[in-house]
Amino acid sequence: MLQGERVTLRAVERDDLPRILAFNNDVAVELAGGGDPPWPQSFARVVADFERDTAGGGRDGGKGGVNFAIEADGQIIGFCGVRDVDPFGRTAELGITIGDKAYWGRGYGREAIRLVLDHAFRLLNLRRVFLRVHGRNERGIRAYRACGFVEEGRLRQHVWSDGAYDDLVLMGVMREEFQK
């Protein structure tokens, strides 16, 4: 468990699944995250994903990363973590979703990102964390920059999102940059 001023990052629990289902089925949340096009998701699918991930054994469920529920005010407001850890390059990809829109634009995502980065660099001994974000996600890009990420590349009109093509922005932060 990682504790910040306003958020706690903890393991995802079975009791969190109904809330995660609501986040995953909220089109505005899905579009803000810039992931795949929104598709309806059943509770059975959320449960199956949870069981697959937790059945993998070990601390990371066999996925080469770590996932956290983001908790604030006694409830889950989203999830975050790093995935696809490269044991040789010491890199990983960051992912974050603030699913509760009441917590958007209030700094909760930034605090969660800083906690994840501290965990990644200090405890996982990573040297670089990167992410992909849609170019129209200005709120996300501002949050990533505030946490030390810099734009490393841009794939023009690379993704289809909300009725239009959008740039895919590649951002990264090195351990030394984060520690400053």
Query: Residue 82's beta-bridge partner residues?
Result: 66, 94
- Residue 58: pLDDT band by 50, 70, 90 thresholds? low
- Cα 6 from Cα 77, distance rounded (Å): 12
Q: Which of 77, 66, 130, 80 shows the shortest CA–CA distance to 99?
A: 77
Q: What's residue 161's pLDDT?
A: 85
- Residue 62: pLDDT band by 50, 70, 90 thresholds? very low
Query: Residue 98's beta-bridge partner residues?
Result: 78
Tell me the CATH number at 117.
3.40.630.30
8 versus 33: which is more confidently predicted?
A: 8
Q: Are 32 and 138 in contact (CB under 8 A)?
A: no
What is the rounded average pLDDT of the residues 113-138? 95
Query: Which strands form 128-134's sheet, in the order they lie side by side?
Result: 2-3, 8-10, 66-72, 75-86, 91-98, 128-134, 164-174, 150-161
Q: What's residue 180's pLDDT?
A: 84
Question: Which residues constitute the domain of residue 174?
Answer: 2-179
Total tally of structural domains belonging to the chain: 1
Residues of the chain with pLDDT > 90, as a percent, come to 74
What is the rounded average pLDDT of the residues 88-99? 96
Instruction: Decide: residue 132, CB within 10 A, 0-12 exposed, 13-18 middle, 19+ buried.
Output: middle
What is the rounded average pLDDT of the residues 7-23? 95
Q: Are 10 and 115 in contact (CB under 8 A)?
A: no
162 versus 16: which is more confidently predicted?
A: 16
